[in-house]
Chains A and B, each alone.
Chain A
Amino acid sequence: MEFIELKNVFKVYENGVTALADANLSISKGEFVFIIGESGSGKSTLTKLLYREEKPTKGSVFVGGINVGKLKNGNVYKLRRKIGVVFQDFKLLPKLTVYENIAYPLESYGMKSSDIRDKVLRAVERVGLKDKLKSYPNQLSGGEQQRVCIARAIVNEPSLIICDEPTGDLDPKMSREIMDVIETINKDMLSTVIMATHDKDIVNRMKKRVVCVHDGVIVSDKEKGSYIQNENS
């Protein structure tokens, strides 16, 4: 079994919207995969199924051999500790400094503060934010905030990093820098990266595997794909 497997997955929300229909997908360890498609096509839903923010209505989702849909509520945290999630809106805690934001997950696991310090500094080094540790999120630019979010996502060295439109609110230059950071993490830490995006430039430039979703259906899945190519198919 691959690291990530979706088998005949349907997701129907309570309001009756079918966000994902009969999705099949397998992703190996260490891969970098884009999930593309227009707004409302079901990209976020697909990622949410992976970190068990949503449960599949039908079919099964496996992450690292675990049947995520069957996971009990009380055990979801165990899965989340192995997955780092990066969002478009960063989801940082405004009252905490950069350091505290990144340390937050580890603190909540009850880790020793000296260990936390080591891990936070390592993560900060990867995203390049060393001189901003004492700043608060509202004192940072969008790109810097996204770096903090990424640092928080990788601080526990997860085997899977899920990004949902990480560059959605950033200008092209910042977007490129963020993508470089994520690509380096994918290479250096050997973490699997799954990124939902509709940023054509990035997808076309990076030459990675591209899975295209249209109206909840996976319509194409290509190695070294690009946005244009997928739109034509």
Chain B
Amino acid sequence: MKILRIIKKSIKDAFKSVFRNFSLSMASISCTAVTLILVAIALLVTYNVRNITSDIENVLTIVTFVDANATEGDIADIKDVIENMDNVSSVEYNSKEEIMEQMSEDEDMKEILDVLDTSPIQSAFVVSVKDVRKIDSTAKKLKEIEKVTRVKYGETLVKKLVSMFDVIKNGCIIAVIGLIIVTAFLITNTIKITIFSRRNEINIMRLVGTSNIVIKLPFLIEGFILGVIGSIIPILLTIYGYAFLYDYIGGKLFTELIVLVKPSDIVYLTSLVLLIVGGVVGMFGSTHAVRRFLKI
């Protein structure tokens, strides 16, 4: 009961202080909002990049052609070797006959095949890799296997794209961390000024025997309130802005290959992250300010 009374009073005091120092609070809230908007953008970009990267990775394969006179035993051996390789996620064998069959379902292809004397078609393994970054060395290893004639994985462009996305993703993560620190710093300064304007009051509190935690609590709550209010606009922008953008560009970037994450899949999680970041960073900032200022 006693704790409840103290918390209730602290919340009241915190709100009072937010309104009493209205212009200062607004400054801190808007700065928090701006940084959180950037955090939101960084988060959304990161999600999307990760999603796109894994989409691309899923379609990236190494086609591994096998010598025409390989026996069924050879094929089984090769498959074994490939399956045991590090970077391989799945292997699928398409025999020459299967490929021919698939092709001959297509009328145009059938004509071409009929014209040809000897079939250019070879049996092949379609190998999916786990990590596209290591695709070169995996291809090299595949080529070294006996009875493998050649390997094909033309997508250097895709590879470049993926590593570019990696850079974007890491850049975003660093930006998010940096922005969070900036936000904490801003809130620290706001609370410092609040504390400064209430120094007299704090001195009196200490004199009359108010415990340190009770003195600190309103400031912690104030920091939390500032952070949470500062996250409201970024959250609205995330929910409505991202949906708007998604609809506006039709859910994809340049090509059908690069599909954006559906709004409903990420905006709520992102909003929650923003709310928590705002609140926690606000409290962290104010704890810092209180400790430095009250020397308690």
Q: Say yes or no: is A77 at the interface (Cβ < 8 Å to chain B).
A: yes
A78 closest partner in B (C-beta) = B209
A81 with B209: CB separation less than 8 A: yes
B209 with A74: CB separation less than 8 A: no
Q: Say yes or no: is A201 at the interface (Cβ < 8 Å to chain B).
A: no
The verdict on A110 contacting B3 (CB below 8 Å), with A74-B212, A78-B209 known, is yes
A80 with B2: CB separation less than 8 A: no
Measured CB to CB, the closest approach of chain A to B27, in angstroms, equals 23
Q: Report how many residues on chain B are interfacial, defined by Cβ distance under 8 Å.
A: 21
Measured CB to CB, the closest approach of chain B to A188, in angstroms, equals 21
Q: Mark A51-83, 1 if CB is under 8 A from B, else 0.
A: 101000000000000000000011011111111
Q: Say yes or no: is A152 at the interface (Cβ < 8 Å to chain B).
A: yes
Q: Say yes or no: is B204 at the interface (Cβ < 8 Å to chain A).
A: yes
Q: Which residues of A contact B201 (CB under 8 A)?
A: 93
- Residue from B205, B207, B212, B214 whose CB has the most chain A CB atoms within 10 Å: B207
B201 closest partner in A (C-beta) = A93
Q: Say yes or no: is A85 at the interface (Cβ < 8 Å to chain B).
A: yes
A108 with B296: CB separation less than 8 A: no
In Å, the complex CA distance between A91 and B214 comes to 20
The verdict on A77 contacting B3 (CB below 8 Å), with A93-B201, A107-B9 known, is no
Q: Which of A77, A82, A83, A110 contacts B206 (CB 8 A)?
A: A77
Q: Say yes or no: is A104 at the interface (Cβ < 8 Å to chain B).
A: yes
B209 with A110: CB separation less than 8 A: no
Q: Say yes or no: is A156 at the interface (Cβ < 8 Å to chain B).
A: yes
Q: Which of A74, A93, A105 contacts B210 (CB 8 A)?
A: A105
Q: Which of B1, B200, B207 contacts A80 (CB 8 A)?
A: B207
B5 with A108: CB separation less than 8 A: no
The verdict on A105 contacting B6 (CB below 8 Å), with A73-B296, A91-B204 known, is no
Q: Which residues of B contact A105 (CB under 8 A)?
A: 208-210
B2 with A110: CB separation less than 8 A: yes
Q: Which of A76, A80, A110 contacts B5 (CB 8 A)?
A: A110
B206 with A76: CB separation less than 8 A: yes
Q: Which residues of B contact A53 (CB under 8 A)?
A: 207
Measured CB to CB, the closest approach of chain B to A101, in angstroms, equals 9
B3 with A91: CB separation less than 8 A: no
Q: Say yes or no: is B84 at the interface (Cβ < 8 Å to chain A).
A: no
Measured CB to CB, the closest approach of chain A to B194, in angstroms, equals 15
Measured CB to CB, the closest approach of chain A to B20, in angstroms, equals 9
Q: Say yes or no: is B23 at the interface (Cβ < 8 Å to chain A).
A: no
B207 with A85: CB separation less than 8 A: yes
B 171-222 contacts with A by CB, 8 A: 200-201, 203-212, 214
A110 with B207: CB separation less than 8 A: no
Q: Mark B203-246, 1 if CB is under 8 A from A, else 0.
A: 11111111110100000000000000000000000000000000
- Residue from A51, A77, A83, A111 whose CB has the most chain B CB atoms within 10 Å: A77
Q: Mark A93-111, 1 if CB is under 8 A from B, else 0.
A: 1000000000011011111
In Å, the complex CA distance between A104 and B9 comes to 11
Q: Which residues of A contact B207 (CB under 8 A)?
A: 51, 53, 80, 85, 91
Q: Which residues of B contact A112 (CB under 8 A)?
A: 1, 5
In Å, the complex CA distance between A53 and B209 comes to 12
A 106-136 contacts with B by CB, 8 A: 107-112
B204 with A77: CB separation less than 8 A: no
A93 with B209: CB separation less than 8 A: no
Q: Which residues of B contact A108 (CB under 8 A)?
A: 6, 9, 205, 208-211, 214
Q: Which residues of B contact A104 (CB under 8 A)?
A: 204-205, 208
In Å, the complex CA distance between A77 and B204 comes to 12
A80 with B214: CB separation less than 8 A: no
Report 25 cross-chain contacts, Cβ distance below 8 Å, ordered by A residue: A51-B207, A53-B207, A73-B295, A76-B206, A78-B209, A79-B209, A80-B206, A80-B207, A80-B208, A80-B209, A83-B209, A85-B207, A91-B200, A104-B204, A104-B208, A105-B209, A105-B210, A108-B205, A108-B209, A108-B210, A109-B211, A110-B3, A110-B5, A110-B214, A111-B2
Given contacts A73-B212, A77-B209, A107-B9, 6 further A-B contacts (CB under 8 A): A73-B296, A78-B209, A91-B204, A91-B207, A105-B209, A112-B5
* A residues whose Cβ falls under 8 Å from a Cβ of B: 51, 53, 73-74, 76-83, 85, 91, 93, 104-105, 107-112, 152, 156
- The 3 closest A-B CB pairs, nearest first, are A80-B209, A81-B209, A105-B208
